[in-house]
Amino acid sequence: MKQIWPAALVAAATVTAAISPITSVGNKFFTSSGVQFFIKGIAYQLTPDDPLVDTEQCKRDAELMKTLGANTIRVYHVDPKADHSGCMSEFANAGIYALIDMDTFNTYILPNNPWWNQTQYHAYSAVMDAFSEFDNTLGFFVGNEIIAKPDQSMAAPFIKAAARDMKAYRDQKKYRKIPIGYSAADIAELRPMLQDYLTCGGNASENIDFFGLNSYEWCDPSTYESSGYRNLESMAVDFPVPIFFSETGCNVPGPRLFEDQAAIFGPRMVKDWSGSIIYEWIQEENNYGLISYGPKADPTATGPNVEGGFTRKGQPTPVTPDFSNLKKQWATITPSGVAISDYDPSSVSTRGCPTSTPSGWLVNGNVALPTLGETFRGSYTPSPTVTGGSSPSNVQSGTASASPTKNAASVRGEITRMGVGLVVLMLVFTLWP
């Protein structure tokens, strides 16, 4: 009798055969064959809810991304109940991995009144369930720019608690060790305290597996010294986990030359940085796009593929000269990595937990992390040990679900640059919870 395989299983099998899973060791990413992996990525969010559900569109975009030289996409929002097998297969066939944000429009960790509860836990774990089967799932973010101002750093232990619980869930479900990390806003007063805090304390089960930085410091024409990249590099030397630019690509004054890519993948930074993600794929009102799907429409136009005045489906057309400028940069970049067999992860430095500072870092040392269902109420006390699980005295139990209003940091990082359509959607969430 002929065996009939479900379409989703066939697609998943295609993914498995097409691409090598990535893992993090020390401060580097490696393929399963032991080759160091560097991210050449694109932020990819065609629609607010989920861009990974239209297989034909994913195929068109993946083919063009391959000619660009991309090997990774970052997706900010997905619907865990949808079927992603077709899109993930198309990207895998093009040699492209996916970094997926686990939070949703109504499950963000809030910066000014943070909590971490069952509602958030189940939403994040549902995303992990949906994408753990794909070999080209590179990693998960537990948050994006949650902390956007110095006085919001008290949310940091909740970010770390989310990473702790998602890593425990991953291991409990016996998924492969898909890395779990965080994407931070580039805030001078908090560097390098936040990246150090999320990797300090000596308990690997509580620490993030990678750290992403959303930085737009290099605005062409610029240099390694004048852009601020030299300062970023000084804070990343021998960092204990992979660090990379989870958003970059300043478009002021424009056009973008992407000359920062030569620095990121060159001899001054390549030992410590694992690549970059360019913001963004689709052209929108913010003028960060690398491609368009047609001429700009009337902002009030409606239709199945039009939102905020921009068509969001069809044949992708490169935006000139940005697309060709990035393609030329990536074509000349061949970062020199290290084989896993020659790499000693003990060579990287374990960071101490930062103490509070007058300029804004408010978490003093290795504080005990909140447990699931707890809400911040005003202060932290140091953890007596490096092990987790105890309920600190500075948080209180709570069962409230997360606010439907997206935090200000993420509005700046994802909404302002993602266009009018997504802003309108967020207003709907705010006014109609």
Per DSSP, 190 falls in state G
Where would I find the beta strands (DSSP E) of 238-338? 243-248, 273-278, 291-292, 306-307, 310-311, 317-318
Residue 14 has phi, psi (to 5 degrees) of -60, -40
How far apart CA 47 and CA 63 sit, in angstroms, is 19
- HSE at residue 327, side-chain half, CA atoms within 13 A, is 14
Which residue of the set 90, 206, 217, 247 is catalytic? 247
Please state, in angstroms and rounded to a whole number, the distance separating the CA atoms of residues 85 and 66.
19
- Mention every residue, 6+ apart, whose C-beta is less than 8 A from residue 137: 88, 97, 98, 100, 131, 178
Instruction: Round to whole Å and give the CA distance between 363 and 378.
Output: 11
What does the alpha-carbon distance between residue 400 and residue 54 come to, in Å, rounded to a whole number? 34
Cα separation, 325 vs 256, in Å, equals 7
Task: State yes or no: is 374 an active-site residue.
Answer: no
Question: How many Cα neighbours within 13 Å face the side chain of 237?
Answer: 5
CA distances from 31 to 62, 191, 389 (A): 20, 30, 33
Residue 340 CA, distance from chain mean position: 24
Q: Any idea what DSSP says for residue 415?
A: I
Strand partners, 30: 23, 36
- Selecting among 90, 145, 206, 307, the annotated active-site residue is 145
Is residue 145 part of the annotated active site? The answer reads yes
Which residues are annotated as catalytic? 145, 247
